């Protein structure tokens, strides 16, 4: 994709968003509704799930939140958009916007269906700005560590059935019937295994979005390889992939949507 530089190391993909190109803008505008409501649900009524109404709903949520929550929302948005550039075998099985109210989505950050083997992947996204005492490398290590611990806790010390309930609803909204059925079966099986006290190792996609001008310093290829080795070495997940993204500013992509909102109101 024009504007994105990709570095692949083992099972880690590093994406540097160098510029918000016309191709990226078009991809965001063409895919936003599917991200927010799920591909299947969005296709049921293009007028109700229109781009303009979706952007309006997005900013009613986004602009009401703290800077920390905005970081999280923007981070998940860029992961949704750029995932095919880093791990094209994974297809989203989740819905971006919370279904019940204007709030941050509950449950798992991300769930995916692997279109190569039909497997289920769980994803966790952490986003943050690089401060004066950090580099892009050190920040991304911190974020992946938080994502790893957070997702691991959801399967060990902080197991909540409502996460799986939300993911099951998401699968119906995002996937065609046969694929949704297989993903829901896997989700239910994972929870039932945990509920019976069995240790469950899952396939994990850990994502870190670093806000830092790439012309100052960048996430290094060696960092991706080291993180894969260190997380894999702890043996918490059955399979592991990393998605490391660097962009210069929070509004890089959000600004595209904000301009669209202004155009619609004009």
Q: Given pLDDT bands bounded at 50, 70 and 90, which one contains residue 204?
A: very high
Mean pLDDT, rounded, for 163-176: 94
Q: Residue 258: how many CA atoms within 13 Å on its side-chain side?
A: 10
Mean pLDDT, rounded, for 22-30: 92
pLDDT at 96: 86
Q: Given pLDDT bands bounded at 50, 70 and 90, which one contains residue 6?
A: very high
pLDDT at 190: 97
Instruction: Give the rounded percent of residues in the chain with a pLDDT score beyond 70.
Output: 96
pLDDT at 215: 87
Mean pLDDT, rounded, for 2-8: 93
Give tens-digit pLDDT for 62-115: 999 999 999 999 999 999 899 989 999 999 999 988 655 555 556 799 999 999
Mean pLDDT, rounded, for 219-224: 95
Q: Given pLDDT bands bounded at 50, 70 and 90, which one contains residue 59?
A: very high
Q: Are strands 4-9 and 12-17 parallel, antiparallel or unpaired?
A: antiparallel
Instruction: Give the rounded percent of residues in the chain with a pLDDT score beyond 90.
Output: 83
pLDDT at 252: 87
pLDDT at 106: 64
Can you say how many angstroms the Cα of residue 264 is from the centroid of all Cα atoms in its chain? 27
Mean pLDDT, rounded, for 230-251: 95
Query: Can you give the pTM of this predicted structure?
Result: 0.94
The full 3-state SS of the chain, as one line of letters, equals: CCCEEEEEECCEEEEEECCCCHHHHHHHHHHHHHHHHCHHHHHHCCCCCCHHHHHHHHHHHHCCCCHHHHHHHHHHHHHHHHHHHHCCCEEECCCCCCCCCCCCCCCCCEEEEECCCCCEEEEEEEEEECCCCCCHHHHHHHHHHHHHHHHHHHCCCCCCHHHHHHHHHHHHHHCCHHHHHHHHHHHHHHHHHHHCCCCCCCEEEEEEEEECCCCCCCCCHHHHHHHHHHHHHCCCCCEEEEEEEEECCCHHHHHHHHHHHHHHHC
């Amino acid at each position: 994709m024009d504007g994105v530089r990709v570095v692949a190391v083992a099972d880690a993909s590093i994406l540097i968003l160098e510029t918000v190109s016309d191709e990226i803008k078009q991809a965001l505008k063409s895919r936003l509704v599917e991200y927010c409501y799920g591909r299947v649900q969005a296709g049921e009524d293009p007028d109700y799930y229109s781009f303009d109404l979706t952007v309006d709903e997005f900013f009613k949520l986004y602009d009401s939140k703290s800077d920390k929550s905005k970081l999280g929302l923007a981070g998940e948005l860029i992961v949704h958009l750029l995932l095919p550039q880093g791990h094209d075998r994974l297809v989203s099985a989740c819905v971006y916007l919370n279904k019940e109210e204007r709030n941050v989505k509950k449950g798992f950050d991300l769930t995916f269906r692997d279109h190569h083997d039909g497997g289920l992947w769980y994803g966790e996204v952490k986003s943050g700005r690089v401060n004066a005492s950090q580099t892009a490398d050190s920040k991304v290590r911190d974020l992946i560590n938080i994502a790893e611990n957070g997702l691991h806790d959801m399967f060990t010390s902080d197991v909540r059935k409502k996460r799986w309930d939300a993911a099951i609803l998401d699968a119906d909204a995002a996937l065609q019937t046969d694929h949704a059925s297989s993903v829901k079966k896997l989700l239910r099986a994972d929870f039932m295994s945990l509920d019976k006290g069995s240790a469950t190792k899952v396939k994990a996609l850990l994502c870190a979005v670093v806000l830092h001008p790439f012309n100052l310093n960048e996430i290094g290829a060696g960092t991706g390889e080291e993180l894969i080795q260190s997380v894999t070495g702890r043996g918490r997940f059955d399979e592991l992939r990393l998605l490391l993204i660097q962009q210069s500013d929070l509004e890089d992509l959000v600004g595209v949507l904000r301009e669209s909102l202004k155009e619609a109101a004009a």
